[in-house]
C-alpha cells in the first residue's frame, strides 16, 4: 500500500461545496488502496482577513499572537475536511501542525521546519484513518505556535512527504499546473508538463506563487518529486523533479512577476571600507532579506547605495536603516514602493548574453523603464514600475515565444 501526501490550497476549499469536493478526491485516493495524508490551507481569503482583523486591533500586532491567530485558519479547514470525509463514511482525523509533530525554529511569521516527529500520524494511519493536517504551521520546542510564511502549506506537504517516506507528493490548486507565466495575467500561457527543481525554485522565489519556494527547495534536497495539478479536474498537471532531458534545457522556461517589492536608496554615503557591511549586517540582524543591491561609483568620496526588500519588510527596514544612515553621516534615505520585479528563468540562459539583450530590447520597445537589473545563472530580473508589470510580462512571454512552447 502506497502512502500519498496531498495538499489542497485555499481556493480549492473556499466554501462547503468545495470542501465536499476535496473530501471526495481524498476518498477516491484512499479507495485506490493508498494511505492518505492530506495537508490543507485556510479557506479562501481567510488568512488575509485574519491579518486585516489583527491590523484593525493593533497597527503592528505582536508576531507570536499573529501566528496563533493565522494558524486557526488551517485548523478550521482540517476539521471541516475530516467531517466531510466522515459524512462519506471514511474514518478521518484532523491534526494541527503541532499534533502532527512539526517542529520549527522560533522565527515567527516565517519559521523553518527543524524536525518532524511523525509518530502520531503513523499511529493514525496504522489504525486505517485518513489524516488531515493543518498546513502552514508548526510548534517551537517551547510549544509556541509558528507559521511558515505565506504560501507555506506547500512546504508542510513536501516536508511531510519526505518525513513519511511517501511515494508521492501532490499539490492540488486552482490551476492545471505550472504555466510559462501566471495564466491569470497571460491568457496564452502554456502548461509545462515537467520542470526541474532549479528552474522551479527560481520561478517560485521570484513571484510564481503556484509553489512556495521552500517546498521546491526541500523537494530538491531530498529528491522528492512534486506533482502540481488542479483540484477540480483530472488533467495530468506538472511534475517537478530532477531528471529533465538536456534538449529542453536550452530556452527560457517561464516568466515570474512579483509586486511585493520596495526600494531603499541611501544617498551620499561616505565611501570607505566597512560601511556596506554595517548596513547589511544591521538588516540581517533584524531578519530582513535584501535582494538586489547596487552601489554606484563614488563622486567626492560619497556613494549612493540602492537595494530592495519586500514591501512587507519596508517599515522594519527603514526603522533599522534611518538611525544608522544618520550615524554614518549619509545625506538622505529614500524609499519607493510602486515597483515590481519581472524575471525570465531558464537553465539554457547560462552564459548566453543574447537573452539579456532580448529582455531589455523587449521592455524598451514597450516604453518600460528598467530601474535596476540583477542576473543569476539561470535568471535575469528587472525592477520596473508597478503599473507596467502586466504589459512587461505579456511582451516578454511573446518575445521569448513561450506561447509556442511545446510543454
> Going by C-beta distance under 8 Å and a sequence separation of 6 or more, which residues neighbour residue 191?
176, 177, 178, 179, 238, 407
**From the CB of 232, what's the least distance to Mg ion, in Å?**
15
**From the CB of 152, what's the least distance to ligand ASP, in Å?**
5
Helix (H) or strand (E) holding 39: strand 35-40
The site map against ligand ADP for 278-307 (x = CB under 6 A) is ------------------------------
**Secondary structure letter of residue 48 according to DSSP:** H
* C-alpha cell belonging to residue 169: 507528493
Q: Does 319 participate in binding ligand ADP (rule CB under 6 A)?
A: no
As a whole number of angstroms, the distance between CA 242 and CA 327 comes to 49
Q: Minimal CA–CA distance to 4: which of 122, 161, 214?
A: 161
Instruction: Work out what residue 11 binds among ligand ADP, Mg ion, ligand ASP, none; the CB cut-off runs from 5 to 8 Å by kind.
Output: ligand ADP
**Beta-carbon-side half-sphere exposure of residue 7 (alpha carbons within 13 Å):** 31
Q: 115 phi and psi, to 5 degrees?
A: -160, 160
Distances (CA, A) of 155 to 14, 25, 134, 216, 342: 20, 21, 12, 8, 24
**From the CB of 145, what's the least distance to Mg ion, in Å?**
20
Q: What is the DSSP string of 215-259?
A: HHHHHHHTT--EEEEESSS----EEEES---GGGGSS--EEEEEE
As a whole number of angstroms, the distance between CA 86 and CA 328 comes to 64
Residues in the chain: 407
As a whole number of angstroms, the distance between CA 235 and CA 166 comes to 22
Minimum CB distance to ligand ADP smaller for 41 or for 96: 41
Instruction: Work out what residue 150 binds among ligand ASP, ligand ADP, Mg ion, none; the CB cut-off runs from 5 to 8 Å by kind.
Output: ligand ASP
**From the CB of 41, what's the least distance to ligand ADP, in Å?**
5
Minimum CB distance to Mg ion smaller for 151 or for 346: 151
Minimum CB distance to Mg ion smaller for 151 or for 254: 151
As a whole number of angstroms, the distance between CA 290 and CA 60 comes to 21
Residues found near ligand ASP in the complex (CB under 6 A): 9-10, 41-42, 47, 73, 135-136, 150-153
Minimum CB distance to ligand ADP smaller for 124 or for 258: 258
Total binding residues toward ligand ADP, as defined by CB under 6 A: 19
Q: Which of residues 7-46 bind ligand ADP (CB under 6 A)?
A: 9-12, 41
Q: Which of 182, 198, 202, 220 binds ligand ADP (CB under 6 A)?
A: 182
Q: Does 151 participate in binding Mg ion (rule CB under 5 A)?
A: yes
Query: Can you say how many angstroms the Cα of residue 28 is from the centroid of all Cα atoms in its chain?
Result: 29
**From the CB of 137, what's the least distance to ligand ASP, in Å?**
9
Instruction: Work out what residue 178 binds among Mg ion, ligand ADP, ligand ASP, none; the CB cut-off runs from 5 to 8 Å by kind.
Output: ligand ADP
**From the CB of 94, what's the least distance to ligand ADP, in Å?**
19
Instruction: Work out what residue 405 binds among ligand ADP, ligand ASP, Mg ion, none; the CB cut-off runs from 5 to 8 Å by kind.
Output: none
Instruction: Work out what residue 179 binds among ligand ADP, Mg ion, ligand ASP, none; the CB cut-off runs from 5 to 8 Å by kind.
Output: ligand ADP
As a whole number of angstroms, the distance between CA 85 and CA 124 comes to 15
Please check whether residue 305 is in contact with residue 295, taking contact to mean a CB–CB distance below 8 angstroms.
yes
Residue nearest to ligand ADP (CB): 9
Minimum CB distance to ligand ADP smaller for 179 or for 307: 179
- Residues in contact with Mg ion by the rule CB under 5 A: 9, 151
- Residues in contact with ligand ADP by the rule CB under 6 A: 9-12, 41, 151, 173-175, 178-179, 181-184, 208-210, 254
Amino acid at each position: 500500500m502506497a502512502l500519498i501526501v496531498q495538499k489542497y490550497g485555499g481556493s480549492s476549499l473556499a466554501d462547503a461545496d468545495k470542501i465536499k469536493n476535496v473530501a471526495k478526491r481524498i476518498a477516491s485516493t484512499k479507495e485506490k488502496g493508498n494511505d492518505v495524508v492530506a495537508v490543507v490551507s485556510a479557506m479562501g481569503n481567510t488568512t488575509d482577513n485574519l491579518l486585516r482583523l489583527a491590523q484593525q486591533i493593533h497597527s503592528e500586532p505582536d508576531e507570536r499572537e499573529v501566528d496563533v491567530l493565522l494558524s486557526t485558519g488551517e485548523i478550521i479547514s482540517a476539521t471541516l475536511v475530516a467531517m466531510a470525509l466522515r459524512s462519506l463514511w471514511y474514518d478521518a482525523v484532523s491534526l494541527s501542525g503541532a499534533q502532527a509533530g512539526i517542529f520549527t525554529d522560533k522565527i515567527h511569521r516565517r519559521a523553518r521546519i527543524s524536525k518532524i516527529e511523525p509518530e502520531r500520524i503513523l499511529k493514525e494511519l496504522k489504525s486505517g484513518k485518513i489524516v488531515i493536517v493543518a498546513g502552514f504551521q508548526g510548534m517551537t520546542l517551547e510549544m509556541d505556535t509558528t507559521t511558515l510564511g505565506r504560501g507555506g502549506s506547500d512546504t508542510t506537504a513536501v516536508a511531510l512527504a519526505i518525513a513519511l517516506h511517501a511515494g508521492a507528493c501532490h499539490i492540488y490548486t486552482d490551476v492545471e499546473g505550472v504555466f510559462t507565466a501566471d495564466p491569470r495575467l497571460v491568457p496564452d500561457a502554456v502548461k509545462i508538463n515537467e520542470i526541474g527543481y532549479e528552474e522551479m525554485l527560481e520561478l517560485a522565489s521570484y513571484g510564481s506563487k503556484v509553489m512556495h519556494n521552500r517546498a521546491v527547495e526541500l523537494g530538491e534536497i531530498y529528491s522528492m518529486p512534486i506533482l502540481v495539478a488542479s483540484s477540480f479536474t483530472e488533467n495530468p498537471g506538472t511534475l517537478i523533479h530532477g531528471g529533465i532531458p538536456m534538449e529542453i534545457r536550452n530556452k527560457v522556461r517561464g516568466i515570474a512577476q512579483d509586486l511585493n517589492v520596495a526600494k531603499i536608496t541611501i544617498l551620499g554615503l561616505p565611501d570607505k571600507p566597512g560601511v556596506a557591511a554595517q548596513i547589511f549586517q544591521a538588516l540581517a540582524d533584524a531578519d530582513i532579506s535584501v535582494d538586489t543591491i547596487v552601489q554606484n561609483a563614488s563622486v567626492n568620496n560619497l556613494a549612493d547605495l540602492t537595494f530592495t526588500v519586500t514591501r512587507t519588510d519596508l517599515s522594519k527596514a527603514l526603522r533599522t536603516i534611518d538611525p544608522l544612515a544618520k550615524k554614518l553621516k549619509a545625506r538622505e534615505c529614500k524609499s519607493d514602493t510602486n515597483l515590481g520585479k519581472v524575471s525570465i528563468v531558464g537553465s539554457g540562459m547560462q552564459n548566453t548574453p543574447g537573452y539579456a539583450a532580448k529582455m531589455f530590447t523587449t521592455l524598451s520597445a514597450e516604453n518600460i523603464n528598467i530601474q535596476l537589473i540583477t542576473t543569476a545563472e539561470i535568471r535575469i530580473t528587472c525592477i520596473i514600475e508597478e503599473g507596467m508589470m502586466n504589459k512587461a510580462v505579456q511582451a516578454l512571454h511573446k518575445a521569448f515565444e513561450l506561447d509556442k512552447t511545446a510543454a
